[in-house]
Amino acid sequence: MNQSFDLNLLRVLDILLEEKSVTATSMRLNLSQSAVSKHLAKLREMFNDPLLTRKSSRLIATPKAIELAHSIKPLLQNVEQLTRPNKFIPAQSSRRFHIDMIELAYANIIPEFMPEILATANNVKVNIQTWDQNTIEQLLNCEIEFGITCREHDPRSELHIDRLEPDLHYAELIQDHSVCLVRENHPLLTQPWNLDTFIQYRHIQVTGGGASRWVLDEVLFQQQLHRDIAIEMPDFQGAFRLCEFSDLLLCAPYRQVQEMIQIHKLKVLPLPINIIPGAFFLIWNQHFEHDLGHKWLRELIINNLKKQPPPRVC
Q: Is 23 within 8 Å of 59 (Cβ atoms)?
A: no
Q: Other C-beta atoms within 10 Å of 87: how many?
A: 7
* Domain assignment of residue 37, yes or no: yes
The Cα-based distances of 74 to 10, 55, 81, 288 in angstroms read 12, 28, 10, 10
What was the pLDDT predicted at 294? 95
Do 245 and 290 belong to one domain? no
Do 74 and 132 have their domain in common? no
Identify whether residues 120 and 47 lie together within a single domain.
no
Dist CA 173 CA 278 (whole Å): 11
Domain-terminating residue out of 19, 49, 83: 83
Looking at the domain assignment, is residue 69 inside a domain? yes
Both 264 and 184 in one domain: the answer is yes
Shared-domain flag, residues 127 and 256? no
* The pLDDT value given to residue 1: 47
Per residue, the 3-state secondary structure of the chain, as one string, reads CCCCCCHHHHHHHHHHHHHCCHHHHHHHHCCCHHHHHHHHHHHHHHHCCCCEEEECCEEEECHHHHHHHHHHHHHHHHHHHHHCCCCCCHHHCCCEEEEEECHHHHHHHHHHHHHHHHHHCCCCEEEEEECCCCHHHHHHCCCCCEEEEEEECCCCCCCEHHHCCCCEEEEEEEEECEEEEEECCCHHHHCCCCHHHHHHCEEEEECCCCCCCCHHHHHHHHCCCCCEEEEEECCHHHHHHHHHCCCCEEEEEHHHHHHHCCCCCEEEEECCCCCCCEEEEEEEEHHHCCCHHHHHHHHHHHHHHCCCCCCCCC
Q: Of 32, 58, 83, which closes a domain?
A: 83
Task: Please check whether residue 313 lies inside any domain of the structure.
Answer: no
Q: Do 131 and 215 sit in the same domain of this protein?
A: no
> What is the number of alpha carbons within 13 Å of residue 258 lying toward its C-beta?
14
Residues of the domain holding 76: 7-83
pLDDT of residue 85: 62
| Residue 108 within any structural domain of the chain | yes
Q: Are residues 134 and 113 in the same domain?
A: yes
pLDDT score of 309: 63
> How many other CB atoms sit within 10 Å of the CB of residue 23?
11
What is the identity of the amino acid at 94? Answer: S
| 186 and 253 within one domain | yes
One domain for residues 169 and 286: yes
106 in the same domain as 65 = no
Question: Which pLDDT does position 2 carry in this prediction?
Answer: 47
Tell whether 1 is covered by a domain. Answer: no
Regarding whether 185 and 126 lie in a shared domain, the answer is no
Does a structural domain hold residue 248? yes
pLDDT of residue 5: 62
Domain count, the chain: 3
Residue 251 lies in a domain: yes
pLDDT, position 172: 95
- The CATH number of the domain holding residue 288 is 3.40.190.10
Q: What is the CATH number of the domain that holds 77?
A: 1.10.10.10
pLDDT of residue 24: 87
- Residue 289 and residue 120: Cα distance in Å, rounded? 22
Q: Which among 83, 118, 137 is the end of a domain?
A: 83
Determine, yes or no, domain membership for 265: yes
Do 75 and 222 share a domain, yes or no? Answer: no
From the CB of residue 80, how many other CB atoms can be counted at a distance below 10 Å? 13
Mean pLDDT by 10 residues, the chain (314 residues): 67 86 86 88 89 82 85 76 75 93 86 95 94 90 91 89 94 92 96 96 82 79 93 88 95 81 87 92 93 95 82 55
